[in-house]
Structure 1
């Protein structure tokens, strides 16, 4: 009997010690080395990021257009463009093909066939939400090297990224990469088939990017090293032809094989179909053969029709994909040589274009014949 208290004391001590050394299940999970490793892996996992891009076709400013934009203080094109502004400022990046150099009044304004555009056109593109202008086209040298340098000076003054024409060799070697806060960086390249017979000076061969497969291959390779995706502007094709020719298709295939993500085409001044082109590595490239005229003084019916191509670029780890192409049809209205305005086609009235609904359906079928999933914005 006298040993019972001692035994009871020992049993209580052992039980208390065991309780003090025991962790709850949740504490074990928190302190487990394997669980800590799992948490670290989750911390380094990156969710997919995504941006959106808009692109517009030829901005071809004839004298009748800038004369219509003249004010007592210069030139103002915004009243002509206000209806499309919401569709250009709603994406991460917006690009435009400024076909005429914005050399300004000091060089003498002019229209067809040798264009020189008021600098205010550049200001207004900036106001519209444009972030990048492509400048390599058949009118790049209309005012010679002086026209290019004057235009570049203005683009730099307003902080607009430009590509395709350059002020120096060093400038031409600097591939333009637009960095986004979403962590997707886009390289922009621009090339033209020629410059209307005006020779690029041998001593200044950097002035305009001409379509040269060897040069393009080098530039694309470099662009891919310093960016996540490459968007290529090509000024090519036959004017006023609604379908891409064989040379266009072969050149587009060449760029797809090099891993370009998107090609935006210009020069025909009318819309051409859109399609996916598969590269030799199995990659899929969005090919927009011709965006037509976005804003011009050309008065033929089909030359008034243009549009805005939109698409998304998704980056998941190291994989980049172009997806969700969609299109907004536009139309340039005017009263003779006055009252020029770019209007989303679905907002037209029968007074502005009697059969606009029929025209829309015809253009939808034309654009999507190789891309049935192409969506249209209305």
Structure 2
């Protein structure tokens, strides 16, 4: 009887902190965020309302370049985006139910945060590490940045779903592993092709059992080749550019375009590349250390393979950026494995925090407080929308006519279609 009494009390507590977060969400997302974050970082699973409130705040922050581009892709029904689920869904909802594009972006963003927070929490709850709560707090706060979520929204959504499937669903519900993998492979790859890099990496490490020494050789080789790869591929630029179809055109664009291929660095972009590269070295080092303990751990092997690819394409801004985003989700696995390598984990976590703080000040800060006009030229309107989540009630914020509605984007967006 005593056991069942304790069980009912525990269930009541579980309901209570989610009830508080839910009631707070009905009032204002920032209030809900405070409740949800407080309980989440005390080791309680408030992932759902944490995600809903954070996403609602984010969709009132400045609209980013790729997200804006995807709006016009679905609005004007560009033929080359017919198979892109990210664009097709808001198009269907707009045409059938007059639902605004940014309402769907809110849904996408909430899914990203939920997959991220839920999977992190599950790995935290299963961990025996004495520092697991500390890892949870710093990883959840400092790993993803605003641009990852709101500019690379489509890419981030695909990776988040992959991360959720592999490190949460397939671990917790092992009997449904094959079904989950098939469904989420189809779903994530229909959103963004980057997801196939992760699924493909898992397939490779499943089929090929490589030793720790071989992974070290691959990592070093890719690091060296990465510095000379642009020179080598430039010699074949004519052949690559002549490839037929959209694949050849996109490949040529991301390899040879000065903005999306081999980048001409500014101080801020060079800092971003340097910090990401150092963090990748730290992740690779920690992964190699774990290989010594367990050579067959698939997720560790996948991380080492993705790090190798990132080193190989380090000179190419888009490829490198997408691979770093994949690694940003999956590197979290290393922290919750056990109590080993505390010093290495501490240094790696410090690097992640330094990267986030440095980039927020030098690269992403101007998006909020500076003259960021890549998408919207109206500075006053941008600031007005940024502040709304902090004082507007949730029902009004859920009506995107108060924010980035289709009408607002068509009038104010500087894209020319």
Please give the TM-score of this superposition, normalised by the length of structure 2. Answer: 0.24
Structure of larger gyration radius? 1
More helix by share: 2
TM-score for both structures, normalised by structure 1: 0.26
